[in-house]
């Protein structure tokens, strides 16, 4: 088995292969010089998780840190600790960027070409290919074509390429954007900057949560670690699911609760209706969290502010807005999102025919219609990413074991019956999703071609449902 990517999902895939498929050999091909994926790449101040660490961490390795919402360096350390504890590091080949993957039915194998650090093409082949590459482009973040962008004489930074030597002490900073990255950056930068302004076109839902879970910390003191972790993890999963379900059933009521909470926190002098009341319903786009209300605290102590307006043009000294307001800035940070990249940008062929994965249906959210022996570890968008990745890894190992027991060399998801409508794989309306939705594989209108954003349903499907069905063809 070849695993592509040594981030959170790739290390998890290696663990499950070692545990469940003891006779399988595997390697991890990682294009970078370090493991950790997102958590090694992103180095901007304050980087942290945006979901509970008790579910964002692996199911097999308890998260025992005190922080419910943890910082990036702690998460990276956790990934390193996992890879070391389970002897995964020796199976990782660094500096190999997979360029092409070609399936040949004559020998039932994937043939890969990878570019090494010296710029040479290296060949690998495998019986099963497991893509754990995440969903965005590591090379460059998304920056819109702002009018006058090149005129600006100050420092321009995208969080994905944060300079390690950037000095922002006592600087006027404008952060363009209102997503999770901006909400993370603003309070952290405000600790040292002269002032930080978050410039947004439209508001985002932001909720304050405690950075520590007092119940979890007490339970870890009272019970054995493994038991405490199991209770805490399932409590966190159930609470999040109920919260999500209630929000989708009662969006206006939840919207009012969120807005009222922000008004209570910031006080009557702040225009919450203008700056924190989105036009869309909660969970139509991803939710932003701020641990211990740090974002709101920065607004309240006036080390940071929010401006809701549209950019007219960049100027030599800052940004001119359509309202006529001028924002002066020593540093402008474009926290404007990601460029999505499906399956690491690898070019696929099946028996000599180019594969367009955007025309494939996802089978159980893990495999591709018409494509043999290929799996993709793709996490949830409405819950902790790792929850779905863990289940996908378990599912893949079940398939591999069934194939070995029966002497099968390939398994190919194959839709039967009348053609299904092609539906978008993800139901979020976030801009970075909408920009790239045509790149994504599709979902159908029936099981097993529907993409479930539901952990409880997926536990049954991925862990317990029979593997054999008429639409998964073994040969």
Taking 80 as the threshold, does the pLDDT of residue 120 lie above it?
Answer: yes
Tens of pLDDT, residue by residue over 252-297, are 999 999 999 999 999 999 999 999 999 999 988 878 999 999 999 9
Determine contact, residues 331/197, Cβ cutoff 8 Å. Answer: no
Taking 90 as the threshold, does the pLDDT of residue 435 lie above it?
Answer: no
Taking 70 as the threshold, does the pLDDT of residue 420 lie above it?
Answer: yes
Determine contact, residues 151/315, Cβ cutoff 8 Å. Answer: yes
Tens of pLDDT, residue by residue over 441-451, are 999 999 999 99
Q: Which helix (H) or strand (E) holds 158?
A: none
Tens of pLDDT, residue by residue over 173-221, are 999 999 999 999 999 999 999 999 999 999 999 999 888 899 999 999 9
* Mean pLDDT score, 453-471: 95
Q: pLDDT value at position 136?
A: 86
Q: pLDDT value at position 292?
A: 93
Q: pLDDT value at position 286?
A: 77
* Mean pLDDT score, 316-339: 96
Mean residue pLDDT across the chain: 94
Determine contact, residues 93/33, Cβ cutoff 8 Å. Answer: no
* Mean pLDDT score, 100-125: 97
Identify the weakest region by mean pLDDT among 43-57, 295-309, 398-412, 423-437.
Answer: 423-437
Q: What does DSSP assign to residue 106?
A: T
* Mean pLDDT score, 159-175: 96
* Mean pLDDT score, 402-429: 91
Taking 70 as the threshold, does the pLDDT of residue 19 lie above it?
Answer: yes
Q: Which residues lie closer than 8 Å to 296 by C-beta, 6 or more apart?
A: 206, 208, 262, 265, 266, 290
Tens of pLDDT, residue by residue over 82-95, are 999 999 999 999 99
* Mean pLDDT score, 300-309: 97
Q: pLDDT value at position 429?
A: 66
| CA–CA distance, 39 with 42 (Å, rounded to integer) | 6
Which of the listed ranges 68-77, 204-213, 393-402 does the model predict with the highest average pLDDT? 393-402
For residue 149, how far is the Cα from the chain centroid?
29
The proportion of the chain whose per-residue pLDDT surpasses 90, expressed as a percent, equals 86
* Mean pLDDT score, 140-157: 94
| HSE, side-chain direction, 13 A CA sphere, residue 343 | 22
What is the band of 452 on the pLDDT scale with cuts at 50, 70, 90? confident
Q: Which residues lie closer than 8 Å to 274 by C-beta, 6 or more apart?
A: 203, 308
**Best CA proximity match to 17, nearest among 466, 458, 461, 377:** 377
Q: What are phi and psi of 353, to 5 degrees?
A: -100, 130
pTM, two decimal places? 0.94
* Mean pLDDT score, 413-439: 82
Tens of pLDDT, residue by residue over 218-248, are 999 999 999 999 999 999 999 999 999 999 9
Determine contact, residues 311/147, Cβ cutoff 8 Å. Answer: yes
């Amino acid at each position: 088995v070849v695993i592509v990517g040594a981030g959170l999902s790739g290390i998890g895939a290696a663990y499950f292969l070692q545990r469940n498929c003891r006779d399988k050999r595997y390697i991890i091909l990682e294009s970078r010089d370090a493991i950790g994926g997102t958590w090694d790449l992103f180095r901007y101040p304050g980087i942290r998780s945006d979901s509970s660490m008790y579910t964002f961490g692996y199911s097999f390795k308890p998260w025992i840190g005190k922080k419910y919402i943890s910082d990036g360096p702690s998460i990276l350390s956790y990934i390193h600790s996992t890879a070391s504890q389970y002897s995964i590091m020796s199976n990782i080949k660094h500096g190999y960027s997979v360029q092409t993957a070609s399936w040949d039915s004559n020998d039932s194998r994937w043939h890969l070409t990878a570019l090494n650090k010296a710029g040479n093409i290296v060949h690998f082949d495998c019986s099963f290919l497991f893509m754990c590459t995440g969903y965005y482009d590591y090379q460059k973040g998304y920056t819109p074509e702002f009018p006058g962008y090149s005129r600006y004489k100050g420092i321009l930074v995208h969080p994905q390429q944060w300079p390690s030597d950037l000095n922002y002490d006592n600087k006027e900073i404008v952060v363009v954007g209102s997503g999770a990255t901006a909400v993370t950056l603003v309070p952290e930068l405000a600790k040292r900057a002269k002032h930080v302004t978050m410039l947004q076109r439209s508001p985002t839902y932001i909720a304050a949560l405690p950075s520590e879970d007092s119940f979890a910390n007490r339970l870890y003191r009272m019970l054995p670690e493994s038991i405490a972790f199991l209770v805490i993890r399932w409590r966190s999963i159930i609470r999040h699911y109920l919260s999500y379900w209630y929000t989708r059933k009662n969006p206006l009521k939840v919207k009012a609760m969120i807005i009222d909470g922000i008004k209570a926190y910031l006080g009557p002098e702040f225009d919450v209706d203008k700056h924190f009341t989105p036009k869309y319903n909660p969970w139509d786009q991803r939710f932003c969290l701020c641990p211990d209300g740090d974002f709101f605290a920065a607004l309240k102590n006036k080390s940071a502010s929010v401006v809701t307006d549209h950019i007219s043009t960049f100027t030599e000294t800052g940004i001119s807005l359509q309202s006529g307001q001028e924002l002066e800035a020593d540093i402008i940070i474009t926290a404007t999102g990601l460029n999505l990249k499906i399956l690491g940008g690898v070019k696929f062929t099946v028996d000599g025919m180019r594969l367009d994965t955007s025309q494939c249906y996802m089978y159980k959210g893990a495999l591709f219609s018409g494509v043999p022996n290929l799996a993709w570890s793709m996490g949830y968008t409405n819950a902790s990413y790792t929850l779905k990745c863990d289940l996908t890894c378990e599912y893949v190992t079940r398939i591999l074991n069934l194939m070995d027991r029966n002497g099968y060399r390939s398994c190919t998801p194959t839709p039967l019956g009348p053609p299904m409508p092609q539906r978008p794989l993800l139901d979020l309306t976030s801009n970075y999703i909408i920009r790239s939705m045509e790149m994504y594989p599709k979902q159908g209108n029936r099981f097993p071609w529907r993409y479930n954003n539901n952990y409880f349903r997926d536990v049954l499907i991925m862990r317990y449902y029979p593997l054999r069905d008429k639409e998964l063809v073994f040969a």
